[in-house]
C-alpha cells in the first residue's frame, strides 16, 4: 500500500505552511507568513497553494522550499476551502459565499458560482461537478464545473456541514448538531443512511475503499466506521485537543488538532498512534498529503478526474492499481494528474 511522500500542514496561530517529514512528522520547511489563519492547502507538481483568513487570497509557494511566488486577487472574504484541477484553482469561504475559479497559470480570477446561501466550508471536485457544503443552507449543493452553474442539492444535513467526501456512488457529509456521517446517493443526492452519533461536532472525514475516518470535538479521537453500513469499527487514543483535519494514505491517518496544535500519525489497521509532530501552534486547519509523482491523488480517465484511494482507483466498480504514478486502463497507461 502506498504512503504519502510529503505532508504539508497549515495553522491558524503561526499563519504558516509547514512541510512535515512523513516518517516522524518533524518540520522540514516553513513558508513565509500567510499573514492570516491558513485554512486550506492544495498541492500540484511544483507548487503549494494556501488560502485563509485576513489575507483572503490564494498564495502560491514553491514546493521545493516553500518560498513565496505570487498570489490571487482578494476572494472578498476568508478562504476556507480549496480544490484544483489541471488548469484552475477553486476557492470558497465566508462573506462572498461563492465558489470562485482562478487560472492556475497566473492566479487571475475567471468566474464564480451563484451564492451558496451561507459560508462554504468544503468544496470537492468529482468529474464534471463541484460539491459544496457549509453554513445556513446546511445542504450539499452540486455545481457544473464547466460554468459553475447550480445543478441540485441534498436534503438538509440537520446542521452545518463541515466536510464532504465522495466515492464512486455516494457523497458523505459530516458536521454540527447531527454529529453523524450522513450518506447520500451521488446520482440524485437523496439521503441513504447515517452512522451512529460521534458524540461531538465532526470537523473532518476521509474515506478509503472499506472505511470512513472522522474526527471532531468532545470525543477528540479519530473514529473508523465500516463503509458498508456506517457501523462503528475502531478508534484512536484521545488527542489533547479537538481534531480539525484528517488525511489518509494506504497505511496511515494523519490528524491535525486544534487546541494543542499537533499532528498525529495513526496506523489505520490498528488505530495505534505512532508519531506526534513538533509543531506548537493552535489549530492545524489544513493538511495535504502528496504521493510520489502524483498530485491531489487524482487521475484523468476519459477526461474525468477520478479520486485515488490507497493508490487505487475505482473504474466501473473495479479497483485498478496505480503504479509509478501511472494507471493501466484498458491496457493503456494513463498519467496521474500533475
* Full set of structural domains in the chain with CATH: 6-297 (2.130.10.10), 298-338 (no CATH)
Looking at residue 134, what is its pLDDT? 98
Segments of the chain scoring below 70 in pLDDT: 1, 280, 293-338
Do 275 and 264 contact (CB within 8 A), yes or no? yes
Distance, CA of 187 to chain centre: 22
Do 27 and 336 contact (CB within 8 A), yes or no? no
Rounded-to-10 torsion of CA 68, 73, 75, 79: -10
Enumerate residues 6+ apart whose C-beta is below 8 A from 232. Answer: 195, 196, 223, 224, 225
- What is the pTM assigned to this prediction? 0.88
pLDDT digits (tens, 9 = 90+) for 163-179: 999 999 999 999 999 99
Helices (H), the chain: none
Do 171 and 154 contact (CB within 8 A), yes or no? yes
Looking at residue 1, what is its pLDDT? 63
Amino acid at each position: 500500500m502506498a504512503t504519502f511522500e510529503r505532508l504539508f500542514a497549515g495553522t491558524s496561530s503561526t499563519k504558516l505552511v509547514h512541510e512535515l517529514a512523513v516518517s516522524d512528522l518533524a518540520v522540514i520547511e516553513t513558508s513565509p507568513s500567510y499573514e492570516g489563519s491558513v485554512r486550506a492547502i492544495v498541492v500540484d507538481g511544483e507548487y503549494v497553494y494556501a488560502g485563509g483568513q485576513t489575507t483572503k487570497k490564494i498564495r502560491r509557494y514553491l514546493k521545493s522550499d516553500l518560498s513565496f511566488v505570487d498570489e490571487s486577487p482578494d476572494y472578498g472574504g476568508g478562504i476556507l476551502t480549496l480544490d484544483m484541477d489541471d488548469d484552475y484553482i477553486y476557492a470558497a469561504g465566508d462573506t462572498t459565499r461563492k465558489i470562485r475559479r482562478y487560472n492556475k497559470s497566473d492566479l487571475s480570477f475567471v468566474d464564480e458560482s451563484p451564492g451558496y446561501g451561507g459560508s462554504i466550508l468544503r468544496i470537492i471536485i468529482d468529474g464534471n461537478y463541484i460539491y459544496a457544503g457549509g453554513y445556513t443552507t446546511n445542504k450539499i449543493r452540486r455545481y457544473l464545473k464547466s460554468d459553475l452553474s447550480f445543478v441540485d442539492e441534498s436534503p438538509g444535513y440537520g446542521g452545518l456541514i463541515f466536510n464532504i467526501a465522495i466515492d464512486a456512488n455516494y457523497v458523505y457529509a459530516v458536521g454540527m448538531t447531527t454529529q453523524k456521517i450522513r450518506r447520500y446517493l451521488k446520482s440524485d443526492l437523496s439521503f441513504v443512511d447515517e452512522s451512529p452519533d460521534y458524540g461531538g461536532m465532526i470537523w473532518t472525514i476521509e474515506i478509503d475503499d472499506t472505511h470512513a475516518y472522522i474526527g471532531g470535538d468532545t470525543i477528540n479521537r479519530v473514529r473508523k466506521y465500516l463503509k458498508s453500513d456506517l457501523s462503528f469499527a475502531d478508534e484512536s487514543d484521545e488527542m489533547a485537543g479537538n481534531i480539525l483535519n484528517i488525511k489518509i494514505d494506504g497505511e496511515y491517518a494523519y490528524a491535525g488538532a486544534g487546541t494543542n496544535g499537533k499532528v498525529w500519525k495513526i496506523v489505520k489497521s490498528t488505530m495505534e498512534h505512532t508519531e506526534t509532530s513538533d509543531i506548537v501552534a493552535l489549530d492545524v486547519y489544513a493538511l495535504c498529503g502528496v504521493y510520489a509523482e502524483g498530485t491531489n491523488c487524482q487521475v484523468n480517465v476519459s477526461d474525468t478526474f477520478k479520486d485515488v484511494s490507497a493508490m487505487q482507483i475505482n473504474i466501473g466498480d473495479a479497483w485498478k492499481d496505480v503504479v509509478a504514478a501511472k494507471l493501466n486502463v484498458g491496457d493503456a497507461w494513463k498519467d496521474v494528474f500533475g
